[in-house]
Structure 1
Amino acid sequence: MNTSTWNRLTVAAASLAVIAAFTPIQPAAGQIPVSGGHFRRALSSDPANLDPALTNTSRAIAVKMAIFDSLLRQNPKTLAIEPGAAEAWSVSGDGKILTFRLHRGIKFHHGREMTSDDVKYTIERTLTPQMASPFIRAFDRIVGAREFTAGQTREVSGISALDRYTVQITNSVVDSTFPLVFTGLFIVPKDEAERLGRDFGQRPIGSGPFIFVSWSRDSSLLLKENPDYWEGRPYISALEFRIIPDPATLQAEFETGRLDFILLEDPTYRRYADDPQWKPYVVEVAELFTRHMGMNTTKPPLNDVRVRQAINFAIDKATTVRTVLQDKAFVATGVFPPSLAAFDPSLRGYEYNPQRARELLAQAGFTSGFEMDLNGSSTPVAGRWLEVLQRYLADVGIRARIVQQDFGVMLDRAGKGELMTYVLSHGGGSNCVNYLGPFRSRNFGIAGNRMFYKNERVDALMDEAERTFDPRRQIQLCQEAERLVVADAPWFFWNYNKAALVHQPNVHGIVGNPLELDWIQMHKVWIQPRR
């Protein structure tokens, strides 16, 4: 497959995307973007560090997007794969070899040009066992990657710098989702990463639109414009990430004009969305997260599909979204949220029907109901969610005992098969194959399938979808698999998160990203001077 063919496929995939609830504010007629200004946004806490190989938290990525370039990007509106540092890329006929051609003239912040050697080094650095990178699994299918990580070789045989601007990567399997990995591969300069070692994450050097200036922990992280950025000089001259953990302080700083935008959580969403002063400046998006209650399909009585279906019928999702989540969510009908290209609007899912729930429980032999644990994290918000679910389950005879624990402990215990249920938000990225990862039997346990769910037909459909590069066919396969999963009900399919932010009236160019709302292309944002 040549480059143009692959690019056409990504455009075709984009045309299938169903993007819901985007409301970015566009400049009024006649407005022209202006340069200058100090843009201030907030983080709830400091990132652990800013080394692309070491941090995968949302707040760290928001900063890294400003400092570094990735090989490929995803369009925030369509989620289509687009050029990044690589101006073009291609996939071989057998689907195993990816070839990337870099833009010429991309300069790192210390002045040296980016080359294919930097790309090769970035991947190999990630795979080095001493780095203990959370991204190792993303690249371990590259030919020679596991041998390199095990210390058996000095380089990854499947990564070749063909010339100064061309890098070729050979995968050991056919995986149509593999190009997505490179949307998160932030390229580091080999010379500076080696010179700084572990300090690189505290003094990062990239090639992105903003240059690292300073970091005062528990206070702020300051970047400045990169005047030599290869896509053009950013509009704003300085970008500051202020560390503000307290929600009340966050709102006060925004309303007094000392922050240019803030993310809106459930308690504050309606305050701004219903206020005529702020409503025009609220940006909303159906984020790629599905809130659910996972059910261990190997533990009685949840090993009976009728019991799992009964739980889905027992809870009034629409009412809980309206009253508990303050309308900051969309009712779930299945696995895929509406921002995903594979979203199936014809899928009805489970509507609230407590009588049907009681009938199914009776058919399963539980006319008097049963007892079970309802597990969630230890936060007050999670506690409120669990109490609501508990009341609905009690109405059909299921006596649920609320168990709250540390989030990490809950995930670990669920992955070991120790829990009957767990309440969680699943984010599977922008590809339907990855999004259905928790329902593949090869992913039992901590790999994501904490329900220990197995359906051989679902496995077969996902195997085929993973091998196909035809986006239409891939979506058809994913939707067929989703319908089977919904019928088997290993989850209580609750809601899709609605992410929202509010920005100052003089801020322009913010486009919500369904992957993470605050993953904003900051070099396209501009500030209109206040009068």
Structure 2
Amino acid sequence: MLKRKRWFMSLTLLAALTAGCSTVSKTEPAASGSASEPATAEQNLEITIGRAFDVSGLDPGFLTENAQVVDNIFDTLVKRGENEELVPGLATSWSQVDDKTWEFKLREGVTFTNGEAFNAEAVKYSLERVLDPASNAPTASYVSTIDKVEAIDEYTVHVITKNPDPLIPTRFNRYPTEIVPPKYAEEVGQEEFAQKPIGTGPYKFVSWDKGSNVVLEANAEYWNGEPQVKKVTFRSIPEASTRVSSLLNGEVDIVTAVSPEDRSKIESSSNARLSTVERAGNTVYVGFKTDVEPFNDPKVRQALNYAIDVDAIVDNVLQGAAVRTNSLIGPKDFGYAGEPKGYDYDPEKAKQLLAEAGYPDGFSVTLDTVSWYAKNTDVAQVIAEQLKAVGVEIKVNNVESSVYRTLVPSGKQSDMYVLGWSSTNTLDADAAIYAILRSGESYSTYANADVDAKLDEARSSTDENRRQELYKEIQDQVIQDAPRIFLYQENQYYGVSDRLNWDGRVDTSLQVSTITAKTE
């Protein structure tokens, strides 16, 4: 029997992300983890993956959700291997030419699935469409350090940054740096491209039945070898218990976002197993619009932190499916400095601070929440009950997923709102906190000039020790300012059919090309 692949994060990765910023060069074989041998008849797998929600679009430059689907259609210049190490993708090597210039040598002979050639102009086009302010790309902050992209020749690209940016290779490992075909994208326009995407990835788009499923089929001409899974259907199954039932009944092969109460069902199953990745999920918090009353007063924000018993929520509501944290940076990210001290559960202290702020009788407010997070409604209701004990009346407003994706980045959510964030697959503090703390960013409802300056310095410094120091200072300041209620970081739980070799990854990607059939 083939040994089941296990995905472990290299303990040296965090340091390696920014290593050798003066001169870096990578030349390696094609990214590990992808099939490279011809598939036999017995390997012609067709699988179904049950997810908690449908996609809102399939354009990697303009995503408002995770990239689990589009990652299979498109490629990036840099990829991550089995141990989360950076390995060549559409670029065969990269090096730093000077403080602000990175050079990527591109893989030759690659075509998009419509026959269009992959080259330097495609890379330039893909980045410029995201960087264009008129595009209003929701993920532009991830690449906003880039000043311009130059096509030096057909297979050489220079990425020139506004300031030194040691994270360019890691930024080119995730959306929105996935490469799109310029001619096709221009011909059909952004709206149609998001519904009928074309990429160079291991899978080709077949169909999208909105609200139901997305179907992909294997790219037989994929530059890194045809995948063993020949067809994959991503089904939208919002109800957690229904997802698990579908897995146990054999209707689907992998399910994401397994709820706390359903873990035991999978663990006791005879045809499926539970794949657990601790603290690989979102860091969930309650955000405040800090420029409106009463949340423009730090005493009010601090008071609400003291009023919440996070341990009780984690233990009793989430049944241990998350880890309480005051850190905005995960333990697998560069920049993590351990767990900082935050706010103990102290309702009396909360009442005292509210009175000092001029709200001895509390106030009323709406709390928006969304189904993206485990037990979101139950968690919101418990928060409402705990805040009621200190005089704050909360109306819980469950917002439909597709609506919430538009409300939050446009700043139209309620003055209190639930949101989760993570470093995704950059595994660096910059991605974990910049977009939600830097004033002026789409997902930020906080402004502190000192924090802004430190965030900007940290993303341009080539000194690892200085970056570590800055991120610790930022966290200490943010905890004091309390622009949110600090809650927890979710664990990731997947249900996996026993007929498959696959386990969840710390970067939360779902690379279908790495899935293989169990053999006797």
TM over 0.5: yes
**Does structure 1 retain, via aligned residues, the 8 Å contact 2:74–2:180?**
yes
SS in 1 for 2:280: strand
Deviation of 1:523 (Å): 1.3
TM-score w.r.t. structure 2 length? 0.78
Unpaired segments of 5 or more residues in structure 2? 1-11, 20-32, 34-39
- Does residue 386 in structure 1 map to residue 380 in structure 2? yes
Q: How does 1:50-199 map to 2 (within 5 A)?
A: 50-58=58-66, 61-74=67-80, 78=84, 81-94=86-99, 96-111=100-115, 113-126=117-130, 133-135=137-139, 142-143=146-147, 158-183=148-173, 184=175, 185-194=177-186, 199=192
Structure 1: state its 5+ residue gaps.
Answer: 1-8, 17-25, 27-32, 144-157
Change (3 A) 1:195 1:438: closer
Q: Superposition pairs for residues 364-383 of structure 1, below 5 Å?
A: 368-377=360-369, 382-383=376-377
Output the CA distance in 1 between the equivalents of 2:209 and 2:219: 21
1:167 is displaced (CA, Å) by 0.8
Instruction: Indicate the SS of the match to 1:228.
Output: coil
- Residues 392 and 243 (structure 1 numbering): CA distance in 2 closer, same or farther, change over 3 Å? closer
State the alpha-carbon separation in 1 of the partners of residues 18 and 305 from structure 2: 33
Native 8 Å contact 2:274 2:493 kept in 1: no
Sequence identity, in percent?
26
Letter in 2 for 1:387: Q
Q: Which amino acid in the other structure matches residue 119 of structure 1?
A: V
Partners of 1:134 and 1:364 lie apart in 2 by 35
Counterpart CA distance in 2 for 1:46 and 1:319 is 31
Structure 2 residue aligned with 1:525 = 515
Cα gap change, 1:125 to 1:352, in 2 (>3 Å)? closer
Partner residue in 2 for 1:41: 49
The SS at the match of 1:281 is strand
Residue 220 of structure 2 is aligned to residue 230 of structure 1: no
Deviation at 1:482, TM superposition (A): 0.3
SS of the residue corresponding to residue 229 of structure 2 reads coil
Displacement of 1:262 in angstroms is: 0.5
2:453 matched residue in structure 1: 460
What letter corresponds to residue 92 of structure 2 in structure 1?
Answer: E
Q: RMSD over aligned Cα, in angstroms?
A: 3.8
Task: Say whether 1:12 aligns with 2:12.
Answer: no
- Native 8 Å contact 2:52 2:256 kept in 1: no
**Per-residue CA distance 1:16-54 (angstroms, 9 max, x = gap):** 9xxxxxxxxx9xxxxxx9843222213456545434345
The DSSP-based 3-state class of the residue aligned with 2:60 is: coil
Q: Normalising by the residue count of structure 1, what TM-score does the alignment of the two structures yield?
A: 0.77
Query: 1:481 and 1:236, CA in 2 relative to 1: closer, same or farther beyond 3 A?
Result: same
Q: 1:223 to 1:306 in 2, by over 3 A?
A: closer
The aligned amino acid for 2:15 is A
Equivalent residue in structure 2 for 1:210, among 203, 209, 232: 203
Amino acid at match of 2:153: D
Contact residue 501 and residue 516 of structure 2 kept, 8 A: yes
- C-alpha distance in 2 between matches for 1:521 and 1:413: 28
**1:487 aligned residue (477, 480, 483):** 480
The residue that corresponds to 2:325 in the other structure is 332
Q: What displacement does 1:478 show? A: 0.5
Secondary structure at the aligned position of 2:368 is classed as strand
- Aligned equivalents of 1:224, 1:475: Cα separation in 2: 43
Asked if the contact 2:240–2:258 (Cα under 8 Å) also holds between the matched residues in 1, the reply is no
Structure with more helix by fraction:
1
| 1:177 Cα deviation from its structure 2 partner | 4.5
Distance 1:239 1:48 in 2: 18
Query: What SS does structure 1 have at the residue aligned with 2:69?
Result: helix
Partner Cα separation in structure 1 for residue 232 and residue 407 of structure 2 = 37
| Deviation, structure 1 residue 316 | 1.3
Counterpart of 1:442 in 2: which secondary structure?
coil
Aligned residues of 2:263 and 2:274 also touching (Cα < 8 A):
no
1:65 counterpart letter in structure 2: D
C-alpha separation between the residues in 1 aligned to 2:399 and 2:339?
Answer: 38
Structure-2 residue corresponding to 1:29 = none
Between the two proteins, the alignment pairs up a number of residues equal to 480
Q: CA deviation at 1:355?
A: 4.4
Helix, strand or coil at the partner of 2:68: helix
Question: What is the CA–CA distance in structure 2 between the aligned matches of 1:204 and 1:301, rounded to whole Å?
Answer: 45
Match of 1:503 among 489, 496, 499: 496
Pairwise CA distance, 1:140: 6.0
Q: Which residue of 1 aligns with 2:439?
A: 442
Secondary structure, aligned partner of 2:122: helix
The whole-number CA distance in structure 1 between the counterparts of 2:80 and 2:432 is: 16
Alignment CA distance shift 1:64-1:487 (3 Å): same
Distance 1:101 1:413 in 2: 38
Contact 1:458 1:481 in 2 (8 A): yes
